[in-house]
Amino acid sequence: MTLPAQNLLAEEASPYLQQHSGNPVHWRAWSPASLEEAKALDRPILLSVGYAACHWCHVMAHESFENDGVAAVMNRLFVNIKVDREERPDIDQIYMAALSSMGEQGGWPLTMFLTPDGKPFWGGTYFPREPRYGRPGFIQVMEAVDKAWREKRASLNQSADGLTTHVEARLAGSHARTVLDRATLAELAKGIDGMIDRDLGGLRGAPKFPNAPFMQTLWLSWLRDGNAAHRDDVLNSLEQMLRGGVYDHIGGGLSRYSTDAEWLVPHFEKMLYDNAQLLRFCNWAYAASGNELFRVRIEETIGWLLREMRVDGGAFAASLDADSDGEEGLFYTWSRDEIEAALGDDSALFFKHFTLSNPHGWEGKPVVHQTLSQQLQYVIHREEISALKAKLLAVREERVRPGLDAKTLIDWNGQMIAALAEAGRALARPDWIDAAAKAFAYISSGSRDGRLPHSMLGARKLFPALSSDYAAMTNAAISLFEATGDWSYVDQAGQFVGQLEHWHADAEKTGYYLTASDSTDVPIRIRGDVDEAIPSATGQIIEALVRLASVTGNLELQERAWHVAEHAAGRATQQAYGQAGIVNACALAIEPLKLVLVDEFTDPKLVPVANRNPDPCRVDIVVPIGTAANRPLLPGGILPPTDKAGAWLCTGQVCLPAVTDAEELERLLRRR
């Protein structure tokens, strides 16, 4: 077999893969055909995993993959496969776990060397073209791997077999279920408590990530046990990151992380999932604290989302790149002269509320951020400042824009749809709910034979969906139901769970695999237990099952959710890190809350109280007074009377007496 002298990425649906279609490297996408090619040629595979907004992925591409000399070595020695980790998180998680098992620090770009049948035997992350940063040069690495492959193949194959077995046990194994109880959850929250940076927020040290699963553990600890210190840790973390350069003060939205411990200098990529989680946390924080900062940041971030991230059909793009015109952060940073030129005499007012900093180690233009006192004053005088920001935004729009990864990832969109619907309810913004509903409808219309894709880009769709896609869309459907009262969303949620059950359930009915049963190109079928920047697929699935069971009153589904949660918790006890998503979901399974509201639709008294008191542990069902189509069941199969207004708050199978007074309901829902 002769290796085709060409790069085969031009027709791929992933913008990230398309970015590499002009490389002199003979790239292939991950596929059964690519693996067969490696077997036929008896060559190892060089696997490179990255994503469109990844800064160091771009650096390695410019240094090595665009270089004819480096490409010649790659093409001579390997079958070269490029993977978009957002498009194939199942592949990424397998080989990232392999790298971790080698004792190496993970990250992207992920560079792995595999046997022709896809088993990993060595790897790393970014390799410079020439030796530096204490790392060997990329050509040196490839030649050393090739030498080992030719001279020590038996040893490499043995290592690959052992490593694959280890990764399979870690990612696809099963363990005895464990008892779910409040003490286990409290112990996890206590462990996270010890890592919190009490001054600067987030976890101690640098770089600083939002760490949403950990923050949710603390929030749920407050809701469950009344631990006010954990609530304050989350509020402080949000305030600190929202004043830092990691937040886009001109256009809205949060960057991926900051390179320092002060949230000051970000890697400037913006990810859809980070901002979905930011919206949810700010929504909860605003309800709990009354701090207008959180409402303002919700409005700004949704403004950015609808302005810059909407793509075909009203769904949302995956990410915005960190780089523009070849320089990181160039689109977002400002010199003092640029601001003065844009604002003229009004620049003094701008600098009263914002600070420019150029800290040690940062080589670009200054980063816009706020001190805590500036942030406080900005919230008070926001209307006065908004016109200045609009002028700067107009100037910024004339710059070379960072690249947009316009693919629609179903799980990330599901998270954003839920966040938009919840924020729309809480802040009485029906336009946000409408935007969420439009995105949901577009994604649902992309189904084939009842099955969701994982990714969409125009007419191109990547099938089949992952378990995380069905879970996120189930949660999105329930959030839209809560916001609209439209029971068709509950029916769709049930259909998503049916597909999840059919294609992803394990044989023992103890949980679900990330990949579908008919996915033929994965070397290991993994569970999806490990958190990344977002909660794990397993955590999202448990949340979806619990919430759907609460809405429908389906005891069989409730039992299934509990069974899955127990087994997931059992697996989580065997892992040292990355299990907060499972534990958080188990917290919902232990204490699911259900609020049934009967109220006037035209002039409701009780519904606004529920809307302004969002609770991640609770599902809300609204029924109009006098309805004949009364679907919500209270525990025991009891239908609530609909002849007058009332609210029933239920935990598990027990409901409190009906509440008819809005102030009394307010006290009840503010249960802390």
Q: What dotted CATH number matches 593-669?
A: 3.40.30
> Which CATH number is 15-172 given?
3.40.30.10
- CATH classification of 409-590 is 1.50.10.20, yes or no? yes
pLDDT at position 216 is 95
* Per-residue pLDDT reduced to its tens digit, 179-197: 778 887 777 777 788 889 9
Cα angle: 124, vertex 128, 131; to 5 degrees: 105
Distance of alpha carbon 7 from alpha carbon 594, whole angstroms: 54
Contact 320, 407 (CB under 8 A): no
More confident call, 629 vs 209:
209
Chain segment 48-107, per-residue pLDDT in tens = 999 998 889 999 999 999 999 999 999 999 999 999 999 999 999 999 999 999 999 899
Query: What are the domain boundaries of the chain?
Result: 15-172, 202-406, 409-590, 593-669
Q: How many residues does this entry show for the chain?
A: 672
- The reported pLDDT for the residue numbered 330 is 95
Looking at per-residue pLDDT, the higher value among 637 and 643 belongs to 643
Domains 15-172 and 409-590 alike in fold: no
Strand 404-405 to strand 319-320: parallel, antiparallel, or no bridges (unpaired)? antiparallel
d(CA 586, CA 311) in angstroms, rounded, equals 35
Least confident of 465-479, 506-520, 549-563, 630-644: 630-644
Task: Tell me the pLDDT tens digit for each residue of 254-291.
Answer: 999 999 999 999 999 999 999 999 999 999 999 999 99
Token pair listed for 6: 């060409």
Containing 593, the helix (H) or strand (E) segment is strand 593-599
Interhelix angle 272-289/212-225, rounded to 10 degrees, is: 20
* Structure-block tokens of residue 541: 């699935």
CA–CA distance, 577 with 192 (Å, rounded to integer): 11
Q: Is residue 646 pLDDT above 80, yes or no?
A: yes
pLDDT confidence tier of residue 26, bands split at 50, 70 and 90: very high
Query: pLDDT tens, 358-393?
Result: 988 898 999 999 999 999 999 999 999 999 999 999
The mean pLDDT value of the chain amounts to: 94
Residue with tokens 């210190």: 229
**Residues whose CB is less than 8 angstroms from the CB of residue 244 and which lie 6 or more positions away in sequence, other chains included:** 258, 262, 263, 264, 266, 369
DSSP 624-636: ETT-S---PPBTT
Secondary structure of 336-394 in the HEC alphabet? HHHHHHHHHHHHHHHHHHCEEECCCCCCCCCEEECCHHHHHHHHHCHHHHHHHHHHHHH
